[in-house]
């Protein structure tokens, strides 16, 4: 039997999650360079969120992970509107010591805790309009079968062996730690207790025989994969960080625990005295969902995009690809990494009592309002801070005033009495800028607006490819401002429908603004699906005209017929997004005190 020192044996260090939090906790990396990504535009695409631990109720960080995946997936559906071409999975991670202990503390059977908290995640995702196609629980039978199969493949390929592990184990971080990563801290009873240097969580001494995966053999293949595909991990600083980690020796990885220590998990096939390590169990969920080990899974793998938080990068970018290569499969196509939400400058934690309940936020700011806030303000490269006033300010200015105001200005009865999409007059707004003719009314800034909005869908797609959804929203918001400027400049409320001189230009101004709104509505669908639906319905855009392939912005300007000219606008169903007025602000303040 092999004896392995804790310094050499790397047990999926959650401590590395913590150090990564430190590395990427600040803004010094800036934003990643732009460029069109290598996302597969044809064929199938499979998006995944991490599966969420069920030791505690969901918070806004969890919702953020799920929203990023949801927006990516919805944007993909706008590009390729074939339902069977896109799959999106999420779920709950229900095994391991962390859950076993949380259940014991709560005085519940582990299965009962899992049922309760998994149901909370499912309810939250339903309420937040997360359009996943699959929800997996690792306690399901189909998952145990997939994990067993995966284990047997690794074993048959000679990649598992038995070794003795002796060292510290941190249950809340689910990782083994070398001595150098442990310190002593005064506990509540006054006695000094060993804790993880990085997370501060208690550790205990462990000595046991485990199954070990020959991870060290995969350092080179994983490096090659990352070198060959510079977009495998996005944003770029995370790709770079993984390559840096791989500069160091990659020790073998312990992949089981003694069942007497960890009974809440999947037993090692043929050896009930050992339970499969929770990270191996959890990672295989991505295969279970697509039918592994049945051959059908191959139509989805490796066309996969994993959306993950920075704290679980090492598990996804080193251990998972190594396990996959070991089992004869390809690594996932893309790993999109995001940073974390803090609250009023502090890490969110139960002990600090500052955990933000996402359901309260959805209720207070509306589902689409809160979705917009998290995706507009969340920047993958660095941590973002949450506070209520920030939400109110953003939503009032961008959704209520700028976007809602623009729609109102162009559809209000007073200005658009016929309630239709007016005609565009090419004599007032000719294709060629700078023409001098009596009918011409368009100015240089108007051409700039048309050019900005015409290039917006491509720009937005590039931001999605680069996992910079906040930049996509920033670009939309900037065009909304530009369009408001256009309307302000030409003051259609001063033009007269009765005047043969004014009328064609008045129609053109409204036509251009409505066309811009149509583009914004189409592009906002992945982030604010309900609000976008309301906007597009008000413009009279039918369900089959809402994909990116059908966008055709301002056709008449480009010399083509426009299907919207003369079309009746949809019924007015009130404000697009009501202001979160002062009374709401008071409510928020009262809640915080
Ligand atoms: N169960 C593992 C994942 C296994 S995937 C095979 C896990 N679960 S978790 O519940 O702790 O975290 C799930 C996701 O939530 C991770 O992507 C994590 O980064 C994210 N977040 C947890 N806290 C967060 C914030 N404060 N802010 C943003 N995202 C955060 O890890």
> Could you tell me which of 24, 21, 22, 466 has the C-alpha nearest to residue 233?
466
Q: Is the CB of 53 under 6 A from ligand 1?
A: yes
Q: Is the CB of 6 under 6 A from ligand 1?
A: no
Atom number, ligand 1, closest to the C-alpha of residue 348: 26
Of all protein residues, the one whose alpha carbon is nearest to atom 13 of ligand 1 is: 52
Of all protein residues, the one whose alpha carbon is nearest to atom 24 of ligand 1 is: 61
Atom number, ligand 1, closest to the C-alpha of residue 320: 6
Mean pLDDT on 351-358: 89
Of all protein residues, the one whose alpha carbon is nearest to atom 5 of ligand 1 is: 50
pLDDT at 25 over 80: no
Q: Is the CB of 137 under 6 A from ligand 1?
A: no
Mean pLDDT on 47-57: 97
| pLDDT for the residue numbered 10 | 35
Of all protein residues, the one whose alpha carbon is nearest to atom 22 of ligand 1 is: 61
What's the CA-to-centroid distance between 58 and ligand 1, angstroms?
Answer: 10
Mean pLDDT on 49-63: 97
Which of 159-168, 215-224, 462-471, 576-585 has the lowest average pLDDT? Answer: 576-585
Task: Give the C-alpha distances (Å, rounded to integers) separating 481 from 224, 273, 462, 495, 516.
Answer: 45, 64, 21, 22, 11
What's the CA-to-centroid distance between 510 and ligand 1, angstroms?
Answer: 46
Q: Is the CB of 61 under 6 A from ligand 1?
A: yes
Radius of gyration over alpha carbons of the chain, in Å? 27
| pLDDT for the residue numbered 452 | 98
What's the CA-to-centroid distance between 290 and ligand 1, angstroms?
Answer: 22
| pLDDT for the residue numbered 181 | 83
Mean pLDDT on 406-415: 95
What's the CA-to-centroid distance between 32 and ligand 1, angstroms?
Answer: 22
**Contact criterion met (CB below 8 Å) for 11 and 279:** no
Of all protein residues, the one whose alpha carbon is nearest to atom 25 of ligand 1 is: 61
pLDDT in tens, 312-329: 999 999 999 999 999 999
The 3-class SS string of 240-267 reads HHHHHHCCCCCCCEECEEECCCCCCCCE
Q: What gap in Å lies between CA 240 and CA 313, rounded to an integer?
A: 12
Q: Which of 121, 170, 311, 348 to mutate to test the pocket of ligand 1 (most atoms within 8 A of CB)?
A: 311
| pLDDT for the residue numbered 584 | 55
- Please tell me whether the peptide bond between 302 and the residue prior to it is cis, using omega within 30 degrees of 0: yes
| pLDDT for the residue numbered 442 | 96
pLDDT at 18 over 90: no
Q: Positive or negative, the Cα torsion across 231, 237, 238, 243?
A: positive
**Contact criterion met (CB below 8 Å) for 303 and 333:** yes
pLDDT at 250 over 70: yes
What's the CA-to-centroid distance between 283 and ligand 1, angstroms?
Answer: 13
Which of 269-283, 347-361, 452-466 has the lowest average pLDDT? Answer: 347-361
Binned at pLDDT 50, 70 and 90, residue 36 comes out as very low
Binned at pLDDT 50, 70 and 90, residue 347 comes out as confident
Q: Positive or negative, the Cα torsion across 30, 36, 39, 41?
A: positive
> Could you tell me which of 572, 230, 573, 568 has the C-alpha nearest to residue 418?
568
| pLDDT for the residue numbered 28 | 25
Helix/strand/coil for 196:
strand
The 3-class SS string of 531-561 reads HHHHHHHHCCCCHHHCCHHHCCCCHHHHCCC
Q: What gap in Å lies between CA 575 and CA 496, rounded to an integer?
A: 25
Q: Is the CB of 348 under 6 A from ligand 1?
A: yes
Mean pLDDT on 498-520: 97
Q: Which of 52, 96, 280, 382 to mutate to test the pocket of ligand 1 (most atoms within 8 A of CB)?
A: 52
Of all protein residues, the one whose alpha carbon is nearest to atom 23 of ligand 1 is: 61
| pLDDT for the residue numbered 43 | 86
Of all protein residues, the one whose alpha carbon is nearest to atom 16 of ligand 1 is: 309
Which residues face 48 on adjacent strands?
Answer: 89, 306
Mean pLDDT on 286-294: 98
Binned at pLDDT 50, 70 and 90, residue 5 comes out as very low
Q: What gap in Å lies between CA 135 and CA 361, rounded to an integer?
A: 23
The contacts of residue 216 (CB under 8 Å, 6+ apart) are 249, 250, 251, 252
Tokens standing for residue 276? 């499969």
Which of 194-198, 517-521, 550-554 has the lowest average pLDDT? Answer: 194-198
Exposed / middle / buried, residue 381 (Cβ in 10 Å: 0-12, 13-18, 19+): buried
**Contact criterion met (CB below 8 Å) for 336 and 229:** no
Tokens 């990116």 label which residue? Answer: 548
> Could you tell me which of 451, 155, 448, 484 has the C-alpha nearest to residue 323?
155
Eight-class DSSP state of 293: T
pLDDT at 85 over 50: yes
What's the CA-to-centroid distance between 131 and ligand 1, angstroms?
Answer: 19
Binned at pLDDT 50, 70 and 90, residue 180 comes out as confident
Q: What percent of the chain has pLDDT over 70?
A: 91
Q: What gap in Å lies between CA 405 and CA 123, rounded to an integer?
A: 33
User: What is the pLDDT of the chain when averaged over all its residues?
Assistant: 90
């Amino acid at each position: 039997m092999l004896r392995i020192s804790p310094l050499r044996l790397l047990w999926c260090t959650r401590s590395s999650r913590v150090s990564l939090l430190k590395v990427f906790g600040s803004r010094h990396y800036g934003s990643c360079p732009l460029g069109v990504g290598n996302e597969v535009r044809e064929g199938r695409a499979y998006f995944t969120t991490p599966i969420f631990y069920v030791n505690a109720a969901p918070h806004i960080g969890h919702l953020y992970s799920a929203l990023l995946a949801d927006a990516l997936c919805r944007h993909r559906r706008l590009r390729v509107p074939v339902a069977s071409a896109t799959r999106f999975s999420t779920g709950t991670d229900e095994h391991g010591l962390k859950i076993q202990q949380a259940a014991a503390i709560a005085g519940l059977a582990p299965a009962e805790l899992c049922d309760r908290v998994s149901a909370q995640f499912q309810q939250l995702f339903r309420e937040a309009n997360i359009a996943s196609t699959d929800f997996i629980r690792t306690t399901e039978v189909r998952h145990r079968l997939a994990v067993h199969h995966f284990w047997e493949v690794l074993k048959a390929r000679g990649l598992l062996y038995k070794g003795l592990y002796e060292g510290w184990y941190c249950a809340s971080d689910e990782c083994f730690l070398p001595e150098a990563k442990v310190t002593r801290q005064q506990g509540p009873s006054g006695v000094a207790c060993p804790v993880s240097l990085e997370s501060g969580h208690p550790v205990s001494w462990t000595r046991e025989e485990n199954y070990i995966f020959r991870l060290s053999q995969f350092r080179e293949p994983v490096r090659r994969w990352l070198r060959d595909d510079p977009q495998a991990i996005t944003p770029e600083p995370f790709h770079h960080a993984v390559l840096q980690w791989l500069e160091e020796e990659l020790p073998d990885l312990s992949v089981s625990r003694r069942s007497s220590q960890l009974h809440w998990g999947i037993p090692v096939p043929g050896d009930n005295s050992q339970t499969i390590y929770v990270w191996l169990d959890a990672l295989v969920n991505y295969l279970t969902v697509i039918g592994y080990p049945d051959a059908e899974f191959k139509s989805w793998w490796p066309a996969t995009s994993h959306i993950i938080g920075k704290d679980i990068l090492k598990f996804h970018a080193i251990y998972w690809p190594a396990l996959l290569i070991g089992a004869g499969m390809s690594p996932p196509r893309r790993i999109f990494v995001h940073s974390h939400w803090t609250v009023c400058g502090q890490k969110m934690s139960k002990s600090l009592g500052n955990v933000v309940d996402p359901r309260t936020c959805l209720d207070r700011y509306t589902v689409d309002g809160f979705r917009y806030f998290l995706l507009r303000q969340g920047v993958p490269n660095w941590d973002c801070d949450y506070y209520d006033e920030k939400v109110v300010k953003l939503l009032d200015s961008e959704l209520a005033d700028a976007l809602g105001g623009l729609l109102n200005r162009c559809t209000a009865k007073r200005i658009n009495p016929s309630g239709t999409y007016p005609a565009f007059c090419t004599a007032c707004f000719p294709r060629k800028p700078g023409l001098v003719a009596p009918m011409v009314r368009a100015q240089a800034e108007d051409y700039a607006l048309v050019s900005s909005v015409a290039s917006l869908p491509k720009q937005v797609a590039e931001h999605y490819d680069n996992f910079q959804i906040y930049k996509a929203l920033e670009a939309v918001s900037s065009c909304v401002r530009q369009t408001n400027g256009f309307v302000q400049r030409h003051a259609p409320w001063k033009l007269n429908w009765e005047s043969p001189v004014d009328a064609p230009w008045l129609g053109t101004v409204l036509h251009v603004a409505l066309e811009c709104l149509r583009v914004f509505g189409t592009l906002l669908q992945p982030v604010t699906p309900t609000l976008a639906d309301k906007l597009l319905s008000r413009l009279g855009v039918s369900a089959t005209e809402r994909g990116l392939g059908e966008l055709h912005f301002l056709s008449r300007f480009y010399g083509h017929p426009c299907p919207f000219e003369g079309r009746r606008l949809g019924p007015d169903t009130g404000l697009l997004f009501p202001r979160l007025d002062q009374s709401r602000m008071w409510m928020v303040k009262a809640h915080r005190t």
